Amino acid sequence: MNKRRAFLKSAAGLGGAAAMAGMASAAEGATERTRVPGGIRVGNLYFAGGTTGINPDRRKNPSAPPGDVGEQTTRALESHKKNLESMGSSLANVIKVTVFMADIKNEKPAMNEAYGKFFPKDAPARSAIGTQFPDDITRVEIELVAWIPEFETGHPIIDNQHQGLVLAFNQVVAATGQGDGHEEAGKALAHLIEATKHHFRVEESLMACDGYAKTQAKEHGEVHLRLTGQIEDLARKVSRGEEGLSPQVLNYMEDWLLCHIQVEDMDLACHLNAGGH
């Protein structure tokens, strides 16, 4: 939990790769399996299924050229790139790649040339394997495993507001450490509540997008309502002196903030990003 707190403090800018070590620690317990564009997500790991890069014109025109191994490698990696970016990640976060090839003996140099343009430095671990495809036109199929920065959803409005919530939460933590903490902590908590309510309203207006089913929107809205009720109840108790902002209470608030981002908000952002909203 202390590591998660450290992450929250350092994540005021949510700087992606810079906070990766902290986020690795924060991944504890995040094991939910979710279907995402191109593959499966488990916690902050993304497992992409094999992707080929045959010229898409072939679907309409069977005589269109399928593309050579270099072109197919480029298309397959472009497709992975797009999926990763829709989840707030990128090719820079790819950990492992497996490349299946129709003719590894003769076509590996051309594949390597196209591949190298996507990973100019810090290339991921890679295996290249010769295989037999069910047709003659597929020259290459590429699968990969990547890291998804845990608290970035890839949706700019949601991520910006989450940064604001992290800052507001950090102000509550800082205020509780001050000598005359009671009043300052109360103000900081009130600010966090206002920022949270505003953020929830914005997310709820985004939920009207296509693809985010009414049931999901309803459940997500109910989570917002429950969280708002809990934090407002806490603020009332703090103002009446019935409850202090103890480390346990702060940990609890931190948990709901992070868990909500990782589960419901990530799901919403996936829908928004996939639909270009």
> Which C-beta is closer to Fe ion: that of 50 or that of 221?
221
Number of residues that bind Fe ion (CB under 5 A): 2
Q: In what order do the strands lie in the sheet with 45-52?
A: 33-36, 39-42, 45-52, 140-147, 94-101, 125-130
CB of 46 to Fe ion, least distance (A): 20
CB of 33 to Fe ion, least distance (A): 20
Question: Which 199-258 residues touch Fe ion, going by CB under 5 A?
Answer: 203
> Which C-beta is closer to Fe ion: that of 141 or that of 265?
265
CB of 211 to Fe ion, least distance (A): 16
> Which C-beta is closer to Fe ion: that of 254 or that of 265?
265
CB of 170 to Fe ion, least distance (A): 16
Q: Is the dihedral of CA 221, 222, 223, 225 positive or negative?
A: positive
Stretch that binds Fe ion, among 3-11, 22-30, 123-131, 259-267 (CB under 5 A): 259-267
Residue with the CB atom nearest Fe ion in the bound state: 265
Verify binding: residue 152, Fe ion, rule CB under 5 A: no
> Which C-beta is closer to Fe ion: that of 189 or that of 258?
258
CB of 249 to Fe ion, least distance (A): 21
> Which C-beta is closer to Fe ion: that of 71 or that of 265?
265
Q: Which whole-number Å values give the CA distances from 179 to 129, 172, 236, 247, in the listed order? A: 64, 14, 21, 16
Verify binding: residue 265, Fe ion, rule CB under 5 A: yes
Stretch that binds Fe ion, among 117-125, 188-196, 233-241, 260-268 (CB under 5 A): 260-268
CB of 93 to Fe ion, least distance (A): 22
> Which C-beta is closer to Fe ion: that of 71 or that of 203?
203
What is the binding site for Fe ion (CB under 5 A)?
203, 265
